Structure 1
Amino acid sequence: MEALNRNKTWIITDLPPDRKSIGSKWVYRIKYKSNSEIERYKARLVAKDDIVVTGNNLAEIEKFKTFLKTKFMIKDLGRLKYFLEFEILPNGSGVCMNQRKYCLELQNDYGMLRCKPIGTPIEPNMNVEFLSQYMHSPLQSHFNLAFRILRYLKRAPGKGINIVKSNNFSLCAYSDSDYAKCKLNRKFVTGYLVYFCDSLVSWKSKKQATVLRSSAEAEYRAMTSTASLQLVANPVFHERTKHFEVDVHYIREKVATGIIQTIKVGSAVQLAYILTKGLSVSQHEQLVKQLGLLDLFSSCCVAVDLKAVLVAVDLVLIKL
């Protein structure tokens, strides 16, 4: 309350006669470490107030934090460890963002800590939007799919996004469309992944709001097939595509100016497939590996870390 008053969060005024006052509410919770030990007890208002400060200049970061302390009552929690259910783990190449603790909590809540792992989140050729579009009125089939996803997470709950240090200052995107995938209304599904400096920074899978009349139109929107690449590169074909929405041709202008370069991607390396369609176990594992995901809790990574520790011990013994 002292911090709220100091920051002039509100002003005291008379309540209008046709309005009712809203009381404040404190939320009490326990914050746990990754090994389930209690880290500290927390009490706060409902509003979320955590922020992350990052950069490549430590002096400027300290300067910015000092400035924030002059304006707000803040507490420096040190190196980032948890944020929005993500665990941030440093490694030799950068940091790994994972949700291992959240996955284990879900499996514990539904009694699936000892369930049998499975290789893919959904069955091959299944609609990736099948589960999310029935969240408000799920049937038994949707619950079965949700439990299948928990079985998939059981296989590697600690696998996360590896943000690497890189001098490759470039932007690369993969996109794909699955024409008339939804069996209920034949709307198409699009998916894309964006890499910046060799790290995955953005991704999305979405069932579009309109029904398209051709696969070429759907693929043009997602910039995937050879036909769509020819449409973008050659204005002669545009007479056949007048029914496309005008905003789609924005891409054509960027290609013409050289800002965007379109490249045909083979099925074996089309990473966006993982966001638009159900895949076989082998193809799914291959694409997940190419995504650049990392599991610091796997036996492989533990063995590497143990080897590094043994090397360090040998060096200390030699030095002594």
Structure 2
Amino acid sequence: MRDPIQRHCSLQLLKVLTTIGLFLDLNDYLTHQYHNNWNKDDNWDWDKEIVLITGGSSGIGASVAQMLLSRNPKTRIVIIDCVPLTFTPAPSSSVQFYNCDLSRSSEIRSTCAKIRNEVGDPTIVFNNAGLSRGKSVLEGAYEDVEVTFKVNLIAPFLILKEFLPAMVKSNHGHIIATSSMSAIVTPAGLADYGATKAGLQNLHEALALELASKYNATKIRTSLVTISFTETPMFKGRTNQSPFLTPLLKVDTVGEAIVNILYSGCGKNIYLPGIMRYISCVRGFPSWMVRFLGEETGRLQVDYVGRQEIDTATGGLKSE
């Protein structure tokens, strides 16, 4: 009797696993097609693309810039930052740096006009610049809160307003940004940072709908890379998180994932590490579970540092 029963159980298990596999494949297919408006854009020419990277002097932005150049030295890279480059581009490469305080809308406007006149309209905009002051709601000064929102959320809005019209006109381009798991489960001390990253996610969701339904720009791609704790200049030390399930990310790991998305010619929302894709469902959990997970983030001993200096006279960032 045991063999027939075992065979029956094995067959039932196989059917269940096959059904789950087919469902996941169908889910991935529909996600990809809807995200890319059921079309392909075969007009990508990396000899001619212009890639704008905010906060590209160091960290993830610098990693993406260098990886793009290693794939194609002819790709034109435009970096906006308020600190000098931490890498030296090859003499033959086309990398142009513009010093700009992203917390000041007047500087964003003038810098974008300069880029448009000297280089051209970017076909790829990577809204990467971000900062955290690492202070609680009560500890942070007015300037800490304002500069965080201006750099992390308002600057991406304004930059899109500058360069999206040309993309819409040609129906070609890619908008990509780095978000954070802090938008989903915000640790204590990162309230302003988490709020800006949640806003950035909402921006991308609405932008994708507007491009397709309002402007019929169905070949402009949008991508969002939501990451967990990463070894960038904004973060120091280590956390108590599991190195197996949720490892502390390396800058080049994130950079490579972003470059792969850009070279695919398709829009995509990804989570790094991959397990964060499932943790992102936490917002649908009962409120007590969300609270429990939030309290558990305190055990991670997260140490964000506000490395940028604020000019108290203007409320903007001091250039280095």
Q: TM-score, normalised by structure 1?
A: 0.20
Q: Which has the larger radius of gyration?
A: 1
Q: TM-score, normalised by structure 2?
A: 0.20
Q: Which has the higher strand share?
A: 1
Bigger relative CO (Cα 8 Å, ≥ 6 apart)? 2
